[in-house]
Structure 1
Amino acid sequence: MAIFIEVVLPVILIFLSGFLLQKFMRMEIKSISTVVLYIMLPCLVFETFYRAEFNQEYAMMIAFSILLLVCILLINKLAARVANYSTAVESGLILSTAFMNAGNYGTPIVLFAFGEQGFVYAVSFMVIQQIVMNFFGVYYAAKGAAGFRLAIQTVLKMPPTYAVILALIAKFTSIPVSNNVLSSIGLVGQAAIPVVMILLGMQLANITIKQLDWSKVTYASILRLVVSPFIAWGLTLLLPMNDLMASVLIIAAAMPSAATTTMYAVQFDAKPDLVSSITLITTLLSVITIPIALNILS
């Protein structure tokens, strides 16, 4: 109960503020998300990667992301074959189970639970996961060669991708970045997390559920909130990493479905009602499952 009050409840209250604001005010979310995507997140990502000490940990983080994705994809393909699901249903289930909300949900949870060092790991993983989601998420949503091309275009259009590139160039070519400039970048970057938390609440307020397909929602919820962190735990035993990084990655893997996948599902008609309902249900259930996971790790 203490972990729920100290770690999860503060995050939920921020989500709730965005949810209530959107329910009563019906604001235009795109403008806010654009500011976050094009200014705040790139600043946060730039500072994180510019200050980071690159070592084996980042390679392990990339390996972890790919292996976790492969495991969940295989589970979904097996389930789709056994249940004889259509390609659209399979794509919808992949979108809602393979990609977690490691950004506007995972990073604040990690910050409250594991402090600044854990937060650095969480931001780095968020960037890796965002690239993976933009590529494979769009690919499976579009279901074909057109999806592959669009996935590449989507990754290249993401400002955080260029923030990583610029940070690495500045870091490894010894291009000087003054302390005042870095402080300004850090100041804007610090605003990213609270704003995206509020934005998630607003996005959840816009999700509409026409009819729940409880069998698929239950399957997806168990896979996303229970099976995924267990797979992550197994991967952290196989891959060499420190205990803090392992804990951060396990918690990230226990996050609910990413809200971004709902947009992909709508754009490519990959069962958007199913994906949005799974996103909402897993987010609600995570209020219970995340404190349990944190208690186990502690």
Structure 2
Amino acid sequence: MEIFIQVVLPVFFVFIIGFTVQKWKKIDIKPVSTVAIYIMTPCLVFRTFYSSNLDIQSFYMVIFSIILLMSLIIINKVYAKIMNYNQSMESGMILSTAFMNAGNYGAPIILFAYGEQAFAYAVMFLVLQSIIMNCFGVYYAAKGKAGFGVAVKEVFKMPATYAVVVGLFLKLTSISLPDNLLVTVDIIAEAAIPTVMIILGMQLARIPWGGFEWGKVIYSTVIRLLLSPAIAYGITLLLPMDPLMAKVLIVSAAMPSAATIVMYAVQFDAHPKLVSSVTLVSTIISVITLTLLLIILG
């Protein structure tokens, strides 16, 4: 109960604030989201890569992400084959289960649970997940309507991509920025997480209730909240990871479906109703599953 009160509940309260304000005022999310995507998140990402020590653990994180993604894709393909689903439904289920909300949900949970060092790992993972979503997410959402070129363009539309490049370049060349410039970056970076948390609450408020395909929603929620962290745990046993990073990755793998992926499902008509309903249901149920997982991991 202490973990729920101190870690999960404060994060969920922020989502509720965003949810309530959106229901009340019907705010246009796009301008707020644009500020978060193009200003706040790049500053947070740049600060993380500029100040963090990149070592073999970063390579393990990449390997972890690839194995986890491939495992979830294969599971969905096998299940779709068994259930005799068409390719469109298979893609919809992959979208709703293979991509987790590592950014505006996972990062704050990890910060509250494990502290600043763990948060640095979480930010690296959210950047990695953003790249994966903009490649594989676009591919499965588009499936026949777009191709690899669209995915690549989406990656290069991400301001965070350039923040990673600049941060790594300055890190590797040992070029130091002036302290007053770093203070500016810090101020903006500190605003990133609470802003994207409120945005998630607002996004959830726009998802319509009712008419859910409950069989598919339950399956996808179980995969996302239970099987995904179980696979993640197995992967961390195979790789010689730092114990703290292993916890970060397991918790990140247990996050609900990514709200960002709903936009791709809508844009390419890849069963957006299913994807959005899984995002909503998995986010609500994650209050319980994440609390239990944090208790288990310690």
| Partner residue in 2 for 1:108 | 108
User: How far did 1:209 drift?
Assistant: 3.4
The answer to whether residue 157 in structure 2 is matched with residue 157 in structure 1 is yes
| Partner residue in 2 for 1:8 | 8
Q: Quick check: 1:209–1:273 contact (8 Å CA) kept in 2? A: no
Equivalents in 1 of 2:147, 2:222: separation in Å? Answer: 28
Equivalents in 2 of 1:67, 1:13: separation in Å? Answer: 33
CA displacement, residues 212-243 of structure 1 (integer Å, 9 cap, x when unaligned):
11110111000000000000000000011111
| Partner residue in 2 for 1:221 | 221
Equivalents in 2 of 1:33, 1:137: separation in Å? Answer: 19
Can you give the 5+ residue segments of structure 2 that lack an aligned partner in the other structure? none
Equivalents in 2 of 1:88, 1:276: separation in Å? Answer: 15
| Partner residue in 2 for 1:237 | 237
Equivalents in 2 of 1:269, 1:81: separation in Å? Answer: 21
The answer to whether residue 172 in structure 2 is matched with residue 172 in structure 1 is yes
Equivalents in 2 of 1:220, 1:175: separation in Å? Answer: 46
User: How far did 1:249 drift?
Assistant: 0.4
- What amino acid does structure 2 have at the position aligned with 1:93? M
- What amino acid does structure 2 have at the position aligned with 1:28? D
Equivalents in 1 of 2:141, 2:287: separation in Å? Answer: 28
- What amino acid does structure 2 have at the position aligned with 1:43? C
| Partner residue in 1 for 2:250 | 250
Aligned 1:184-195 pairs, distance under 5 A: 184-195=184-195
What TM-score do the two structures reach when normalised by structure 2?
Answer: 0.99
Q: Secondary structure at the match of 1:27?
A: coil
Q: Quick check: 2:145–2:268 contact (8 Å CA) kept in 1? A: no
User: How far did 1:175 drift?
Assistant: 2.7
**Identity in percent:** 58
Q: Which shows bigger deviation, 175-184 or 60-69? A: 175-184
Q: Secondary structure at the match of 1:146?
A: coil
CA displacement, residues 153-208 of structure 1 (integer Å, 9 cap, x when unaligned):
00000000000001111111233311111111111011000000000000000011
Q: Quick check: 1:210–1:273 contact (8 Å CA) kept in 2? A: no
CA displacement, residues 260-284 of structure 1 (integer Å, 9 cap, x when unaligned):
1111000001000011000000001
Equivalents in 2 of 1:51, 1:279: separation in Å? Answer: 33
| Partner residue in 2 for 1:281 | 281
Equivalents in 2 of 1:51, 1:183: separation in Å? Answer: 13
| Partner residue in 1 for 2:148 | 148
Equivalents in 1 of 2:176, 2:237: separation in Å? Answer: 39
User: How far did 1:86 drift?
Assistant: 1.3
Equivalents in 1 of 2:288, 2:163: separation in Å? Answer: 35
What TM-score do the two structures reach when normalised by structure 1?
Answer: 0.99
Equivalents in 1 of 2:155, 2:211: separation in Å? Answer: 33
Equivalents in 1 of 2:4, 2:275: separation in Å? Answer: 27
Q: Which shows bigger deviation, 138-147 or 152-161? A: 138-147
Q: Quick check: 1:72–1:97 contact (8 Å CA) kept in 2? A: yes
- What amino acid does structure 1 have at the position aligned with 2:44? L
| Partner residue in 2 for 1:205 | 205
Equivalents in 1 of 2:147, 2:189: separation in Å? Answer: 31
| Partner residue in 1 for 2:130 | 130
Equivalents in 2 of 1:77, 1:178: separation in Å? Answer: 51
Equivalents in 2 of 1:205, 1:14: separation in Å? Answer: 13
Structure 1's consecutive aligned runs of 4 or more residues displaced over 6 angstroms after TM superposition are none
Equivalents in 1 of 2:176, 2:13: separation in Å? Answer: 40
Q: Quick check: 1:141–1:147 contact (8 Å CA) kept in 2? A: no
User: How far did 1:147 drift?
Assistant: 2.8
User: How far did 1:136 drift?
Assistant: 0.4
- What amino acid does structure 2 have at the position aligned with 1:8? V
Can you give the 5+ residue segments of structure 1 that lack an aligned partner in the other structure? none
Q: Quick check: 2:91–2:140 contact (8 Å CA) kept in 1? A: yes
- What amino acid does structure 1 have at the position aligned with 2:189? G
Equivalents in 2 of 1:58, 1:176: separation in Å? Answer: 22
- What amino acid does structure 2 have at the position aligned with 1:137? G
Equivalents in 2 of 1:107, 1:61: separation in Å? Answer: 15
- Number of equivalences: 298
| Partner residue in 1 for 2:95 | 95
Q: Quick check: 1:209–1:276 contact (8 Å CA) kept in 2? A: no
User: How far did 1:210 drift?
Assistant: 4.3
